[in-house]
Every structure is written in structure tokens, then in C-alpha cells.
Amino acid sequence: MGKRYSHKIVIIILVTLFGCHRDISFFPTTSYYREKDFIQTINKKNPDNIKIELTDENIFPVSGTVSHHLLVGSITNQWFKELKKLRDIKTFIILTPNHYNQGKEIISLSKKSWLTNNGIVKVNKKYVYTILTNLKLKEDDNAFHNEHGIGDIVPFIKLYFPKADIVPISFDQFNKRIKKCNDLATQLSTIIKKNRNVFILVSTDFSHRADIQTTLSRDLYSEKVINSFDPVKVNTIHSDNTAGLITLFFTLNEVGVYKTHIFSNTNAKNFDIKTPDDDITSYFFTYQY
């Protein structure tokens, strides 16, 4: 009798726990993320050769780019810490590449929340519903399964902006449509114009699978394009989220933002000497204001 009742109690507890959170995508859901790695990241110092450019305290950034690799998580941590000093944010609109080509939509959104080691990061369902409705899209939860482009970012949001919610947007990089990016940008610019507490975050890494000379050369060109705010030129740079950057530049052109602060530009070789010489990834951490 005792064993039978104890099993019932366990089942009831499990049903209660999971039943109360039907709209939650439980996190971590990615092999890129480990709680201990995140904790080490926020306590780790940058290598001595990493250059950080702090901002003018008077700027008001409306968007930024940040890496989704915890290898450079110490810079991500500093980037968020600096952002916290500059402004308050209630909603992060996160533009991520669809790394595993999952889901059914070219541009995907989901209303499911994310679970971090510090608690739940909720989704702004109002904004998600508005975008889905106006763009005639269907909710696409599967696009976000194991998506480290969101998963490696939300712990930092929860740490520095614990009350903020998010709008996760995923892009199919192999089937992107400029018009769809432009249509989405119109929705985002409308949201930003009406709500100064919203921030657009582009989750992206830049040059991939190249030697150091090629990586540095690509980054020089990418920096010029980043400073140009030209959506057309984005397709000519090396980034894993060109669709997100195109959407960002369309949005910024609509809201009249044309300045970029480059917080840091670096590459994997500076963080891990064991990085293969022909497989280097580069990173830009920026703010637009």
C-alpha cells in the first residue's frame, strides 16, 4: 500500500510541475550550453590581447550584435554589463539564425518561454502575436529546438535584465527573402517607435572556417558594411545571420539610427590557441544608436 501511494504522489507532483508550464521550452536544450560553463564565463577574464571599447555614457543604443558562442562569453558578459549601464530594457527582440534548419517557416516565431539557471525568461506574446498576424505566419516552435542562437543569450538577459521578456525570431539562412526581411523590419520599427523600452539583439558570428589572414581580411570588410547600415551589402559579408542583419538595417533605416559603436572585434584563435588554423570564427560585439 505504501509503495503504491508513494508512486501516485510522485506522478501527481510531476504532472503538476509540467502541467503548470505547458508554454515553456525547457532550457538548457543545447549541447553548446552547460550551466557550469556559463558560470565560468561570467567569472572569466578576457585574454590580455582582447580590446574593449567602452561607450560614451550618453548614447542610447536601440540594437546590438552579440556572439552565441560561450567561448567568447566573457565579452558577452561585459557587453551586457555595459548595456545595463546605458539603458533599461523590458523586451529583447532576438534575431537568430536557424542553425539546424528546423521548423516550417522562413521566418519563425514562438510563444514558448525559456528556462535558465536563474529562472524563466518569458516571451512577449503580444508582440509575437502581432508579428505573426501581420506577416501571416504560423507559430513555429520546432525552429527553436536546441537553438543556441537563443539558448546561449537568454542566461545573460536573465542575469542583467531579470524582469525583461523576449521575442525570439529565427531565420532560415538558406532560403531568405529580402522582401520578408523588409516586411518584418516594418513591424519591428513600429514596435520600437511606440516603445522605447524595446531592444533588438542580433545573435550572430561572423567569418567561419578560414585561416587568420582570411579572417582578418573578411572582418575589415564586415566592419565597413556594419558601419554603412546598407541592407543590400550585408549579403556580401561572412556572417551566419545575414538575414538578421538585413532585417536590422532595414529597421534602423526606418527609425533613423545610423551610428555604430564597435565594442569588440575578435576571433576564436585569441581565446583558444588550439583552434585549428583553418577553422577560425570571428566576432563583432556592437551597439547601434
pLDDT digits (tens, 9 = 90+) for 3-46: 444 443 333 333 334 334 444 545 444 434 457 778 888 889 99
Q: Around Cβ 100, how many Cβ atoms within 10 Å?
A: 15
Residue 67 belongs to some domain of the structure = yes
Instruction: Please indicate, yes or no, if residue 266 is contained in any of the structural domains.
Output: yes
In this structure, is residue 64 part of a structural domain? yes
Contact (CB, 8 A) for 248 and 95: yes
CATH number for position 63: 3.40.830.10
* Any domain includes 262: yes
Q: What is the pTM of this model?
A: 0.89
Structural domain includes residue 11: no
The pLDDT of residue 117: 84
Give the helix/strand (H/E) hosting 109: strand 107-109
What is the per-residue pLDDT for 12?
33
pLDDT in tens, the chain (289 residues): 444 444 433 333 333 343 344 445 454 444 344 577 788 888 899 999 999 999 998 999 999 999 999 999 999 999 999 999 999 999 999 999 999 999 999 999 999 999 888 899 999 999 999 999 999 999 999 999 989 999 999 999 999 999 999 999 999 988 878 999 999 999 999 999 999 999 999 999 999 999 999 999 999 999 999 999 999 999 999 999 999 999 999 999 999 999 999 999 999 999 999 999 999 999 999 999 9
Residue 189 placed within a domain: yes
CA distance 263 to 64: 10
Can you give the pLDDT at residue 6?
42
Is 42 contained in some domain? no
* Structural domain count of the chain: 1
- Report d(CA 265, CA 216) in Å as an integer: 10
Supply the range of the domain harboring residue 176. 57-286
- Among 143, 128, 151, 123, smallest CA distance to 67 is for 151
Q: What's the CA gap between 52 and 72, in Å, rounded?
A: 13
Count Cβ atoms within 10 A of the Cβ of residue 177 and give its class: 0-12 exposed, 13-18 middle, 19 or more buried.
middle
Does residue 181 lie within any of the structural domains? Answer: yes
- What is the Cα gyration radius of the chain? 20
Sheet containing strand 24-25, strands side by side: 24-25, 113-116, 119-121
The whole-number pLDDT of residue 61 equals: 99
